[in-house]
Chain A
Amino acid sequence: MDELKVFTIKKNIQEDNAKVAEITRSQLRKQGTYLVNIMSSPGSGKTSTIVRTIKALKDEMKIGVMEADIDSDVDAKAVQEAGAKAIQLHTGGMCHLDATMTRQGIEELGVEELDLVFLENIGNLICPAGYDTGAMKNVAILSVPEGDDKPLKYPKIFGKVDVLIVNKIDAIEHFDFRMDLLEERVRRLNEDIIIFPISAKTGEGLDEWLNWIRKEVRKRG
């Protein structure tokens, strides 16, 4: 039998994912499409926030959405009705999207003429935070009923995102949710994070978020 030797590899398993994500980002930048990755737990209002955003911006820019869901097309339909180009990524049992799945979605959607694309990640606060999808910016949504302690329990996602949307602020009086405490906890993990308290239901606070998107899309490329 041949003699066995130790071969040092020292390869980070995420290296290939990071490469694919970088390729996606530079291609999208070149063609002028702005990709935003939206992450949250199930039920925090990803789809309703996206729908509200589409309705407000559809006359200013061309918008597309990739909906990742275990198995249904409920969300894609809602988004199409709001006025955006949409596809449903059926991800089987996956708990997150990686850069390759995102690329496949981009090809399927066809983004050449689009100005803004939302990637609605799988409802999960843990796994999506670990994977670069190729998006220009990462956004997390936390809704008031989930509680202001979530940054303590899921520090990775709150430490990583560029923007935090705090949704369902219209219901804040019914919950022991302290916005100041949340902000303090989030800033400890992520000093420069931008926080937008909104209600996707009533539209409260939405203008700041919309203006941020407008600004980002304008300076894309």
Chain B
Amino acid sequence: MHELGIVYEVVRIVDGFVQENQLTKVEKIVLEVGQLSQAIPRFLEECYPAAVSETAYEDTKLEIIVLPANGKCKSCNEVYNIIEHRRICPKCHRDEYALISGEEFNIKEIVAG
């Protein structure tokens, strides 16, 4: 469980952006988190209040967009969720794929003024 450290890092990066652009209020932070990334969205949400407590971001909302763990089948080019299908292509039943999404952990955007 390392989500608290990750959330601190998010706040640190956002704070850098806020200073740089001389913003005064951040309404919302939007993250993109892949299903295969190092962080679990529910834990991120649970840690977030602790990370922003008594900071300028105490009232800033956190939104998490989960990106699917999608692979493209190397045999038939079918795109499928490798977690739901336990890595096996639902169309041709092979299990060799190239990962096309799911490992992301991005700060997508902030809504601020």
Q: Show the binding face of A for B, using Cβ within 8 Å.
A: 1-14, 16, 94-96, 127, 130, 156, 188
User: A14 with B112: in contact, given A7-B21, A95-B2, A96-B2 (CB under 8 Å)?
Assistant: no
**Chain B residues in 8 Å Cβ range of A14:** 105
Within 8 Å by CB of A127, from B24, B36, B38, B107, lies B38
Tier of interface size on chain B? 20 to 34
**A130-B17 in contact (CB<8A):** no
B105 to chain A: closest residue by CB: A13
User: A4 with B106: in contact, given A16-B13, A127-B38 (CB under 8 Å)?
Assistant: no
**A7-B110 in contact (CB<8A):** yes
Q: Show the binding face of B for A, using Cβ within 8 Å.
A: 1-2, 5-6, 9-10, 13-14, 17, 21, 23-25, 27, 36-38, 96, 104-113
Within 8 Å by CB of B38, from A3, A11, A130, A188, lies A130
Distance between Cα atoms of A83 and B96 in the complex (Å): 46
Within the complex, what minimum Cβ distance (angstroms) separates B104 from chain A?
A: 7
Within the complex, what minimum Cβ distance (angstroms) separates B19 from chain A?
A: 13
Within 8 Å by CB of A5, from B14, B106, B112, lies B112
Within 8 Å by CB of B10, from A7, A13, A127, lies A13
**A5-B111 in contact (CB<8A):** yes
**B107-A10 in contact (CB<8A):** yes
**B113-A13 in contact (CB<8A):** no
Within 8 Å by CB of A13, from B1, B17, B24, B106, lies B106
Within the complex, what minimum Cβ distance (angstroms) separates B37 from chain A?
A: 8
**Chain B residues in 8 Å Cβ range of A1:** 25, 113
Distance between Cα atoms of A7 and B111 in the complex (Å): 6
**Chain A residues in 8 Å Cβ range of B110:** 6-7, 9
**B109-A9 in contact (CB<8A):** yes
Within the complex, what minimum Cβ distance (angstroms) separates B47 from chain A?
A: 13
